[in-house]
Amino acid sequence: MQTSTLLAVLLSAAALAPAAMAQGPKPASPAAARKAPRTAFGQPDLQGLWTNATITPLERPTKYGERLVLTPQEAAAAEGDRDKEVANGLKPSTDLDKKEIATCEVKGFSGVDCGYNAFWVDPGTKVMRVGTEARTSLITSTPEGKIPPLTAAGQARVAQRAKLRATGKAFDGPEFLSLGERCILSFSSSAGPPMLPLLYNNNYQIVQTPDAVVIEVEMVHDTRVIRLNGKHGPAGVRQWMGDSIGHWEGDTLVVETVNLRPEQAFRGASGDVKVIERFTRIGPRQIKYDFTIEDPASFTRPWGGELAMTATKGPLYEYACHEGNHAMEGILAGARLQEKQGKAVGPAAEEEGGQ
């Protein structure tokens, strides 16, 4: 490029910079300047061991408003707080220390639900960085970084699930317990779609063939098989992790998943949810992962976000969880005790007002 042409380009970029800054930070570009490496059969190479562990939440804390990117000082402060939590978790503790049990240092848990402190979990110690941007939330599709409101049908579905637990029906039999408790699928949405980080075991291994992309998920040892350039099966055939069909758009793997089982509902989604995912290699050690959730029966509008999957050392160890695990006996013991006492449980208890 001639010097005069280069100068004109730089001046034009400088003139546009104030307007771009006024609009606020934008998600990182889906394509990097570098060319993605190729497999032996010519596809962009996503293979390897990756982690999406992060202390960045799915939804943006209100204090950040519509700001997507943390300042370096804010990112350092958040990571410093996490380091302190881990250090506190390493300290000796008293089993019957009521104050410790009440706080337990694991966000979202308290009281008898404090099964472990910060020492026993591994959500990561760093905020989510996509490219070089330290993010305030994983959700990027809404200005405030929040999941959009549920529809009336979605609210009713969530309320019904809450009622099951409130009446005790959730502990009547294993079929009412969560998929994670039953060791059928990962807790939360680690296996996906969408594939999102959680308290621990946030590792994945990707293997490619000319006809498929296979993702082994550490949590509960799930395996997703994404068929390339295929067609979805019948709508009546519901599968764990859904029916995923992928295709390449340049260096980006685009995956559409439908036909999820209704038991795998994510954040109030129905069994008719559609999830669109995009995997793009943006550096030697990073894949940018985008997801969009479309479910008019549950959410007032589509929503989604993006995060980074960062290269990590292996191997990926087996998560030796299996259906009908020994803890199931303890989980269901309360309902069995009620039966011995002549009290109704499950559907009958619901009819009697949950007594």
Q: What is the mean pLDDT of the chain?
A: 82
Residue, of 142 and 116, whose pLDDT is higher: 142
Domain of residue 157, residue span:
36-54+141-355
pTM over 0.85: no
- Higher-confidence residue of 216 and 347: namely 216
pLDDT at 3: 40
> CB within 8 A of 232, min separation 6: which ones?
243, 245, 256, 258, 259
Q: Please check whether residue 300 lies inside any domain of the structure.
A: yes
The pLDDT of residue 296 is above 50: yes
State whether the Cα torsion 256-196-320-112 is positive or negative: negative
Give the phi and the psi of residue 10 in degrees, each rounded to 5: -65, -40
Report how many helices (DSSP H) and strands (DSSP E) the chain contains, helices first: 7, 11
Please check whether residue 178 lies inside any domain of the structure: yes
Residue 167 lies in a domain: yes
pLDDT at position 26 is 46
- Do residues 82 and 40 make contact, with C-beta atoms less than 8 angstroms apart? no
Quick one: pLDDT at residue 210? 97
Q: Which of 47-51, 111-115, 230-234, 245-249 bottoms out in mean pLDDT, i.e. has the lowest?
A: 111-115
In a domain, 129, yes or no: no
Q: Is 255 among the domain residues? A: yes
- Answer yes or no: is 269 within a domain: yes
Per residue in 170-199, pLDDT (tens digit) is 677 777 788 888 888 888 899 999 999 998
Reported as a single tens digit per residue, the pLDDT across 18-54 is 333 333 344 444 444 468 899 999 999 999 999 999 9
What is the rounded average pLDDT of the residues 324-343? Answer: 79
Q: What's the pLDDT score for residue 2?
A: 41
The lowest-confidence range among 34-43, 94-103, 198-207, 309-318 is 94-103
Q: What is the CATH number of the domain that holds 316?
A: 2.40.128.20
Reading the block at residue 348, the tokens are 């009958």
Our count of domains for the chain comes to 1
pLDDT at 171: 73
Strands 286-294 and 274-283: antiparallel
For residue 327, the model assigns a pLDDT of 76
Residue 236 lies in a domain: yes
Torsion sign across C-alpha atoms 123, 127, 130, 135: positive
Greater pLDDT, 351 or 39? 39
CB 223 within 8 A of CB 214: yes
